[in-house]
Structure 1
Amino acid sequence: MASLLESALPLSHSVSSSLTSSSSISALTCLFPTNVRTHNQLLHPRSISYPKKPLVCQLALDEASFFEPPKAEIIGSLKIKLLSAVSGLNKGLAASEDDLRKADEAAKEIEAVGGPVDLSVDLDKLQGRWKLIYSSAFSSRTLGGSRPGPPTGRLLPITLGQVFQRIDVLSKDFDNIVELELGAPWPLPPVEVTATLAHKFEVTGSSGVKIVFQKTTVKTTGNLSQIPPLEVPQLPEALRPPTNRGSGEFEVTFLDSDTRITRGDRGELRVFVIS
């Protein structure tokens, strides 16, 4: 009888014996034809009509291997997404409410994947000259961002050029460098100047940075580059505002070798790339 059963069901036996021997298979379900063989058919194998289609077997594997892209590759694609979101916004001066939302969402994606920043370990990554490519504060249409500052546009003939941050982790120097073009009465050409706002910085907590204003230096460029730098005098102590408007705090929310994202004490989102 055993040999008869083996000859009657050769396919199911061979499939099950070969598959169950594999350690990667946890379950095997075979869908047999609906016409069940009777005892008489088993005794007379020639009367058995085998199905024209092969048996359908459904396998359940113990485990499936899913290959997740490396973290650096994910961050690289998210950087491209962020750069696409802020491109064409003139550092944020031309940003609409929808642009602000898209940039903020793209930055949050990078921050989530990158994880918390620890400047006690990665302080050296701050070193260098960083170019500002986006600031949500510039959407207020003033050079001071969310703080008081000269307006851009028609009220004053001031055109904002490139903005940089120069950071020296050894001397704790933190300079904001702003290129400006000042309009002049016709037929005089516009005056190009570079203003350097010098600060000292210190790290607060794991990812916070506090900057303290030192001085402002203005240097003409272009046709007037031969003029020596001019240090802008500060107001007398008695006339200074109670809070130093040149100082501030921000948190570094993402930092690697070529990209830095910060969020200011007034909610400003800023994106820098190494230059």
Structure 2
Amino acid sequence: MASLIMQSSVIPAALNNLRTQSCCCFPQQSSSSSFVVKHRQHKNIRRPIISLSAVDEKVSGSEPSSSSFAAGFQFPDSIKSLKFKLLSAVSGLNRGLVATEEDLEKADAAAKEIEAVGGPVDLSADLDKLQGRWKLIYSSAFSSRTLGGSRPGPPTGRLLPITLGQVFQRIDILSKDFDNIVELELGAPWPLQPVEVTATLAHKFEIIGSSTIRIIFEKTTVKTTGSLSQLPPLEVPQLPEQFRPSTNRGSGDFDVTYLDSDIRITRGDRGELRVFVIS
């Protein structure tokens, strides 16, 4: 508990960058990390169960190969090869944390091919496809090596003892809830053990035009997991109104450029390319 209190000044600053389309960037997850994510059951919406065993593996020193990465998906023949190409391009990049400039270009080109074949997204007709919990498998912003992605932020490394686990987006089209869920491990000085937490950044969302989603931040809740899972969740207080940046009031827009029952591709307000799979 002492280590969790010690980190209280670090968590709000690091999580503040997650309130918009741009997720923050952390060092890659250690193989010893163990995280738990709980998510609500959605009413009245049923989706087919898709095998994502290869994709759902925790990120560690080794990742599934290109072939195993896409093995659980069933694609329409007309776009199957393009999806496989995209999944192959982002496989092994630790969600973009270790991506080189060449990797970024390859992923962007593969995404553009799918976007061209899929055509414009119309969320008014395909809103039900947003429903569910989506797992982030790639973000071009993570290659910047800062906690802000393509936004300003502290560099990754040893300056902040925070290790990134899995990142999810949980979308409920009935209640208009849009939650960014981030699994973290907070380091602590020896002999204290690291603290494992799940941070949920709660938003509401609305559709702007045919394919743009606007999210409006509501609150951040941090819940300890692992050996400290019995502790109650903690709501991270917001900065007073007079200290909040005038350019970011907790909302953000991003475009959904491709969407089906398996994969979602989005592009953010600062050019972030992000790829999600249903989980």
Q: Same fold (TM over 0.5)?
A: yes
Greater RCO, 1 or 2 (C-alpha within 8 Å, sep 6+): 2
Question: What is the alpha-carbon distance in structure 1 between the residues aligned to residue 214 and residue 144 of structure 2?
Answer: 23
TM-superposed CA distance for 1:140, in Å, is: 0.9
Structure 1 residues 70-81: aligned runs within 5 Å: 72-81=76-85
Counterpart in the other structure of 2:137: 133
Per-residue CA distance 1:142-169 (angstroms, 9 max, x = gap): 2321123443222211111100000011
In the alignment, structure 1 residue 186 sits paired with structure 2 residue 190? yes
Partners of 2:151 and 2:249 in 1: CA distance: 8
1:90 equivalenced with 2:87 (yes/no) = no
Aligned to 1:173: 177
Find 2:268's aligned residue among 256, 264, 267.
264
Is the CA contact 1:132–1:272 (under 8 Å) kept in the aligned structure 2?
A: yes
Preserved CA contact (<8 Å) 1:94 1:139: yes
> Structure 1 residues 147 and 230, CA, compared in 2 at 3 Å: closer, same or farther?
same
| 1:33-52 paired onto structure 2 within 5 Å | none
Whole-angstrom CA distance in 1 between matches of 2:187 and 2:155: 14
Match of 2:114 among 106, 110, 113: 110
Looking at structure 2, the residues matched to 176 and 144 of structure 1 have their Cα atoms a distance apart, in angstroms, of: 15
Greater fraction of residues in strand: 1
Residue 137 of structure 2 aligns to a residue in which SS? strand
* TM-superposition CA deviations, 1:202-224 (whole Å, max 9, x none): 10111000111111000111111
Give the Cα separation in 2 of the matches to 1:184 and 1:267: 35
How far does residue 245 in structure 1 lie from its aligned partner after superposition? 5.7
Q: What 5-or-longer segments of structure 2 have no aligned partner? A: 1-74
Partner of 1:158: 162
State yes or no: 1:211 paired with 2:215.
yes
SS at match of 1:186: coil
The code of the aligned residue for 1:97 comes to E
Q: Secondary structure at the match of 1:75?
A: helix
Tell me the percent identity: 85
User: Paired residue for 2:205?
Assistant: 201
Kept in 2: contact 1:91–1:138 (CA 8 A): yes
Once residues 222 and 165 of structure 1 are traced to their aligned partners in structure 2, the CA distance between those partners, rounded to angstroms, is 21
Structure exhibiting the larger radius of gyration computed from Cα positions: 1
Superposed CA RMSD: 1.3
Aligned residue identity for 2:94: N
Confirm or deny: 8 A CA contact 1:193 1:221 kept in the other structure: yes
Partners of 2:263 and 2:249 in 1: how far apart? Answer: 26
CA gap 1:172/1:149 in 2 versus in 1, 3 angstroms? farther
Provide the secondary structure at the position in 2 that maps to 1:145: coil
- Write the deviation string for residues 14-43 of structure 1: whole angstroms up to 9, x where unpaired: xxxxxxxxxxxxxxxxxxxxxxxxxxxxxx
| Alpha-carbon distance between aligned partners in 1 of 2:151 and 2:172, rounded to the nearest angstrom | 25
Residue type of the alignment partner of 2:122: D
Counterpart contact for 1:152–1:159, Cα < 8 Å: no
Q: If the length of structure 1 is used for normalisation, what is the TM-score?
A: 0.72
Runs of 4+ more than 6 Å apart? none
- Structure 1 distance, partners of 2:249, 2:183, is 20
CA deviation after TM superposition for structure 1 residue 238, in Å: 1.6
Choose 182-191 or 167-176, whichever is displaced more.
182-191
Describe how 1:238-253 pairs up with structure 2 within 5 A: 238-244=242-248, 246-253=250-257
Letter in 2 for 1:258: D
In the alignment, what sits opposite 2:224?
220
User: What does 1:18-37 align with in structure 2 at a 5 Å threshold?
Assistant: none
SS at match of 1:181: strand
